[in-house]
Structure formats: structure tokens, C-alpha cells
Amino acid sequence: MTDILSKHIGNFTLGNVFSAAISLVICLIAVKVIMIIVNRAVNKLPIEKTLHKFTVSVVKAILYFISFLIVAESLGIDVTSLIAVFSLAGLAVSLSVQNSLSNLASGIMMLITKPFSVGDYIEAGGISGTVSEINFIYTKMLTPDNKIIFVPNSDVASSKITNYSAEPLRRVDINITASYDAPIEKVKAALLSAVKDCYVFCEDPAPFINVMSYQSSSIEYVIRAWCRNADYWTGYFRLLENVKKEFDLNGIEMTYDHLNVHMIKD
């Protein structure tokens, strides 16, 4: 039996091949069992599906690499040399794709921290739009004028991120000027009526209307009214229209910059 196992097949003995085959079977079974455990554990974590798949893929790749080293050692191959070769190859690849690796790292961090989700309207990396996809290299955004923009994750992660969809309610802020001749209470009543005529605004929190500042030729008023996030622009534009209508109904002058020229005759 010993003579049979000592027979050479190329550079390997039959014993090495037999040992490697057993190691391979054991490693494949171990990988399958470990992956079942990993899948169950990852499924319980509150993470995005993209990150879930990535985590599972990385763990599987690591397990297969370890299995490869175990089988190679069973064949009598110097594993230390293999690791050194893979390390040098990995360093060369990482240097050549460092920008992509930066985007990858940023994508993983965003999937973990969750500053926004698919469907949120955000402003990041100098771009405003609705997030339609988050992958490991780019964040795909749909702009209001229906353009698809792929923003590198490193640009998104390194910039200030404003998420307009994070909360169910959003506040509409509008500043309006009126003449000094119009009584303050009359203007405030007209502005409140303009808000109430917009069906999208909430009663709780109640709308806020007050004097903002006294300017050179007008009084500036501020309107702050709350609405559902999806109704923001509807409320914003409707309120602007209603303010003009209410001012006209109540005889309130909406001031604007103008120039009076006085002609002096000789």
C-alpha cells in the first residue's frame, strides 16, 4: 500500500493526490455549512440587499481561497510562496484601481450608515435628484427634468448630503413684502387665508406668519407652513398664487423695486 501511495504522478505522489482529494471534499462541505450559517446571520442584520450580497460573496471568496491553500499544501506546494505571489498581485491591482476602491469603500460605508435610501430625494455631490439605485461604485440619481446621473460614491460620501425625504413632513418657507401703508394685522390675516386655501398644509404644526424685517420701502413677512413631503412643491407654488390673490382682494400693495424720475423744467 505504501508503494502505491509513493508512486509519482508528474511532480506529485499518489499519496499527495489522495490527501488533496480528501481535503478538497472536506473543505467544500465545510464551506457549504459555513455559508448556510453566514446567510442566516446576515439575513438578521438590518442592511441593504446590495450589502447583503456583497458580504456573502466576500465571505465565500475568502473560504474558497483558504480551501485552495489547504488543498495546495496537501499536494506538497509551498503555501508561503503562493501567499507572497497573491500579495504582490493584490498590491499591483489595488494601485491600478485605487479610484474604484475608493468608490467601493464609500459605497459600503453608505450602505452601512444609510444616510439615504432608494426613493429619497437628496442633494449630494453637487447634484439634486431622486435616488434610483445604490451600488458599490456609483449612486444612480434621477433629476427633476428626467435625467439619469451616475455620481461616484466617493463624491457623494465626501460632500454634504441633504436628505429631503427623511422625515414625513417638510416646511415651506416663503418671504413676502408688503407696503408700509398696509396694517400689519391685515397683511397677516391675508397671508393666513392664503395658507388655509391650500389644502395640502397641516393644521398641526400650525402655520407661522410674522414680520421678518423692516426694509427701506417695504415690510418683509415670513410664512412657514408644514405639509407632507410629497406635497411640498404643490403647496409651494399654490401658496405663491394664493398670496397675490389675497393681497388683491384686500387691497394690499405688494411692493417691488421701482424708480421715480422727477423732471425739472427750466
pLDDT tens sequence across 127-183 = 889 998 888 788 899 998 899 999 888 888 888 889 998 889 999 999 999 999 899
- Could you tell me the pLDDT band of residue 258, with boundaries at 50, 70 and 90? low
Cβ(141)–Cβ(130) below 8 Å: yes
Q: What is the layout of strands, in order, in the sheet containing 219-228?
A: 169-178, 219-228, 208-214
Number of domains making up the chain: 3
Residue 46, domain CATH: 1.10.287
Domain boundary among 67, 96, 125: 96
Residue 212, domain CATH: 3.30.70.100
Of the candidates 216, 218, 236, 215, the one whose C-alpha atom is nearest the C-alpha of residue 227 is 236
**Residue 226: φ, ψ to 5°:** -100, 145
173 assigned to some structural domain = yes
- Could you tell me the pLDDT band of residue 1, with boundaries at 50, 70 and 90? very low
pLDDT tens sequence across 17-67 = 677 778 878 888 888 888 888 888 877 776 666 667 767 777 787 887 788
In this predicted structure, what is the pLDDT of residue 91? 59
CA atoms of 126 and 128, how far apart (whole Å): 7
> How does the average pLDDT of the chain come out, rounded?
81
Cβ(201)–Cβ(235) below 8 Å: yes
Specify whether 145 is located in the same domain as 181. no
DSSP for 3-26?
A: HHHT-EETTEEHHHHHHHHHHHHH
Residue 143, domain CATH: 2.30.30.60
Specify whether 91 is located in the same domain as 8. yes
Where in the sequence is the domain holding 178, given as residue range(s)?
Answer: 169-249
- Retrieve residue 233's grid coordinates: 412643491
Cβ(42)–Cβ(112) below 8 Å: no
Sign of CA dihedral 72, 75, 79, 85: negative
CA atoms of 52 and 229, how far apart (whole Å): 30
Specify whether 87 is located in the same domain as 17. yes
105 assigned to some structural domain = no
